[in-house]
Amino acid sequence: MYDKRLAGGRIAGELRILDSGPVFHGKGQSITLPLDQLEVGVGGTNNRLVFFNHPSQPDVTLHTPDRGVLRDKILLEHRETQAQINGIRRSSMAGTGKMLGLLLSIVLVAWGIFAARGSMAHAVARRIPPEMEKKLGSSAFAQVTIDKKLIQDPEIQAQLQELVAPLVEVLPEDRFMFQFHIVEDSSLNAFAMPGGFVVLHTGLLLKADRAEEVLGVLAHEIAHVTRQHTLRNIIESASLYLIVQTFFGDMTGLAAVLADGGAFILQQKFSRTFEEEADKEGLRYLVQARVDPKGFIDFFHKIKEEQDRTILGKATSNLTWLSTHPSTEDRILNLQKKINNLQLKDLPPQNFNYTKLQNDLTAHLQE
């Protein structure tokens, strides 16, 4: 019971609901609040307390933390108190509904952000300074050259630059300065890293029969760079909080993640969506460069033949490039469909002596 006339203003005791109304007993104090004109209310944290007041005793307030009192038969059978209790219940239900609505809104917003993390990662990637992206690629390239020997022969390097020239001329120049390298490795592999670092294995160059096959592979790998697939992978693998933080302009957290991203780049695999996007963008580069895109399909047929020669059709260690891509059959069908839709006229072969490049590579490897 609260009563400012008491020492300390309140005392504890027992509250009972009788036909006469709420009755309180405690420390020599006894008081009854009549049912007629009885005021029933709730308050405190989360409305967990029930209060009783009466105009005949304005200085007195009774309260209990036992909300079960609102189910008392006497109170519910009295018209005035029943109406007040029903109002409390409606208010409580409305409050619960608002809370559930708020929670649902939070869940939906969180789900929406999660569902949009790919788009947000793309937007964030475009905000990354080019020098930061190049530094990330440089770190990954340095790790590659620890285990693999670069072909640094000036004549072979010159031929490589001549080979890729048609593609380079049609690539976006606003962000990336591409660098092309060859490493001594017999596996059929090529890959590109952020900032424009592109690596070709000698095994792939020696397996191809003509420049168009290599340029098809390169166009696909270059598209991974221009579409920032590696960077977007790293960003999407970061926490949702970090993505949102970066999306709204704070790059400090993401910068720390990118600083350690070199090892991640060498182990990553792209999603089917990214692979299809790289195929589509790479095909566009080939057409703009007037390079016959059928060369890319021809290279895949070679890979398929290599697969079929292995036990049970499983790829050997020489087929590293395929291990990070969708199935060969699907790639061939999808690329052929895209090329057919373009209705291209026959494109002239590349004016490049690909046989000489292969002979020079072979001679260099035998030294």
The predicted pLDDT at position 330 comes to 78
> Same domain, yes or no, for 70 and 140?
no
Instruction: Give the pairing of strands 179-183 and 60-64.
Output: unpaired
Q: Which residue segment(s) compose the domain that 25 sits in?
A: 2-92
Query: In terms of domains, do 157 and 233 share one?
Result: yes
| Residue where a domain stops, chosen among 48, 65, 92 | 92
pLDDT of residue 271: 81
Does residue 99 lie within any of the structural domains? no
Asked if 318 and 177 sit in the same domain, the reply is: yes
**Residue 165 within a domain:** yes
Cα–Cα distance, 260 to 284 (Å, whole number): 33
103, part of any domain:
no
Same domain, 54 and 134: no
Query: What pLDDT shows up at residue 324?
Result: 47
d(C-alpha 218, C-alpha 279), whole Å: 11
| Mean pLDDT (10-residue bins), the chain, 367 residues | 87 92 90 93 86 93 91 91 88 72 58 55 74 84 87 96 94 83 91 91 95 95 91 71 55 54 62 87 93 90 74 47 58 85 84 96 93
Residue 102 falls within a domain, yes or no? no
Within this chain, do residues 23 and 133 fall inside the same structural domain, yes or no?
Answer: no
Looking at the structure, do residues 202 and 325 belong to the same domain, yes or no?
yes
CA 82 to chain centre: 54
Does a structural domain hold residue 242? yes
Single-letter residue type at 285: Y
- Are 155 and 34 in the same domain? no
Of residues 355, 329, 322, 357, the one with CA closest to residue 190 = 322
Question: Does residue 76 sit in the same domain as residue 142?
Answer: no
Question: Are 72 and 150 contained in the same domain?
Answer: no
Together in a domain, 172 and 291? yes
Q: CA angle 64-14-55, nearest 5°?
A: 65
Burial class (CB in 10 A: 0-12, 13-18, 19+), 129: exposed
- 203, 352: one domain: yes
Separation between Cα atoms, residue 17 and residue 24, nearest integer Å: 9
Q: Where are the beta strands (DSSP E) in the chain?
A: 2-3, 14-18, 21-26, 29-32, 39-43, 49-53, 60-64, 179-183, 190-193, 197-201
- 185/86 same-domain check: no
